[in-house]
Amino acid sequence: MEKLGITLWAIIPRMRANLYAAICLCFLALGLQAQETEAQVAFKQAFYDATTQKILQNHRQALDMYLELCTKYPQEAAPPHEVARLLSEKNPDMALPFAQKALSLQPNEPWFMYSLIDLLERVNRNAEAAELKMRLFDRNNDFEQAIEAAEIWIGLNNKKKLNQWIARFIQQPEYQADALRMELKRCRSIKQPKKYQKAIEKLQHQFPSSALVLGSLGEAYEISMQWKKSESCYRKLAAEHPDDEKVHFAMAKLMEKQGLLDSATAALRCGFNQEGVSVAYKIAILKAMIDEGAKTERHRKQVWEMGQILERMHGADPIAFSTLGDVYLCEGKIDTAIFWFRRHLASAAPNQKVYFQLIQLELLQREWKQALKTAEKMAELFPANAGAYLYFGLALNKNGQYETALEQLKSGEVYLSASDASKRLKFFQEKAIAYAELHQYDRAQTEITRGLDLVGYDADLVQLRIYLSFLTSGTDSQIQNDLLTFAEKQGETLLVRSARWLLQSRKGGSAELKTTLLQALESTGNSESIALEWLGDALLSMGEKKSALTAYQKAIQFQPLLIGHLQDKLSSLSEIP
């Protein structure tokens, strides 16, 4: 027997060009052996090895012959199943007959059922997949498969199958809740509010004790703007299920629609104070509120109040840290927001969004060194993220490490999406800043031009080009052109007026201009660092060194465009008596 197997293994691969000859040889070997089972095994193994590659190459003759062989030996279902597995990624349509054959040979094998379902879904034969999912439920009580079958019938609008499914499960206590969900989901597909309401009322009459149906009835009345009936449903539900968080938040939404804002806040507060409400659900609700928080002052107050409850009840739970950071950020409490974001990063899984938020806030607070540490860690954790490199380069620029900033920015550009124009502009800007700080002004201008070629106009890049033109003694006409474009887009801001004063001071000062500049400097209480710096430049050109020093000192407190250059200006005037 072993010699026969060796002979077949040696001969068959050489005869792949003629599959029929291979089969005849194998049948001859079978006829010569008394022990048929071993011969069958040798035959199938030899044939499988000889034809698998042709099957995978879509050789139709090999496929048909292989299926015929499987039919001759029905006790072996594994080979066609294996061929189906090999074909599934490359050609699901071709894999289907093999998977079907395997299941027909062993119709009660769950593993073969799962494989065939997967293939049917890939080729959008969902109705067949649903039938097979129900067979799986009948075979090994996998109710998840039965639910998925119902979902398919809803999607296919197969009312007959769905009705049969609901009728089968809705009276069984262990399946009733899921059957009701399927029925409610079907009801929600009814586009007419009155018909939808009647369908839910009928269902509620059948199942008066179902919280699920009662809540849906409240929702149906809410859609029809029958506020009192809706409120009655929600209040009854809240009395019967005080720990059901959805009720309190649905009530809050209902009160808000009626303009009863205090009642809406009270319902939210009630939901947040329930011990049975999970922290994850509270966070989900609060995040949804934060998304709306910027719209009205009332929403912002609700966010703050619910955030305080979350902090009091779950402030020690790491899952709440980043949301608490969002709450304090929404309230404008930057330092406390930074505290919570740092706690999150110290105790939870790395989160890109939190890293981005934290770096932005640290830069806003002028915590340059800490921002650099955060950015470096983010770049280490997310090495293929363009945004991580961008913030790393930005933080390096703020810390005066311009050459390293250029290295990181150039490395990060390779990860930029072709469609992400806004982020690409930021790369151009930070590279231009680094080149300018290194006194490579031509290369800085090149980066600005590349950015403007990409989008036509960008306020930050035009502003930087005006800055560099002043710095490198650019022509007045060039500056005027850029300034006119900037003013048309941004308006007559303090920055625009400061640039005009600086241009005028370059032509020769006057008593009136000097008075205007000093008044502007005295009244400047905002954080436009560039405008303050240009005021200082204008005053310096008129010999007002002390006033220029004051302007530079104010500018350095905020967000200087070129920190190194402004520091140089400060140093040149720091010895003024």
pLDDT at 95: 78
What pLDDT score was predicted for residue 19?
A: 40
The DSSP code sequence of 417-449 is: -TT-HHHHHHHHHHHHHHHHHTT-HHHHHHHHH
What HEC string does 279-329 produce?
HHHHHHHHHHHHHHHCCCHHHHHHHHHHHHHHHHHHCCCHHHHHHHHHHHH
d(CA 333, CA 546): 35
Amino acid at 117: I
Query: In this predicted structure, what is the pLDDT of residue 461?
Result: 94
CATH architecture group of domain 492-577 = Alpha Horseshoe (1.25)
The pLDDT, as a whole number, for residue 9 is 33
Provide block-wise average pLDDT over 10 residues at a time, the chain (577 residues).
35 37 39 48 56 56 63 62 71 79 80 85 88 87 87 86 85 83 78 81 80 78 80 77 69 69 67 71 76 69 83 88 91 93 89 91 91 91 89 93 94 87 92 95 94 91 93 89 92 90 85 87 78 91 90 89 92 71
Cα–Cα dist 133/71, whole Å: 25
pLDDT given for residue 172 in this prediction: 84
| CA–CA distance, 286 with 265 (Å, rounded to integer) | 13
pTM: 0.59
pLDDT value at residue 427: 94
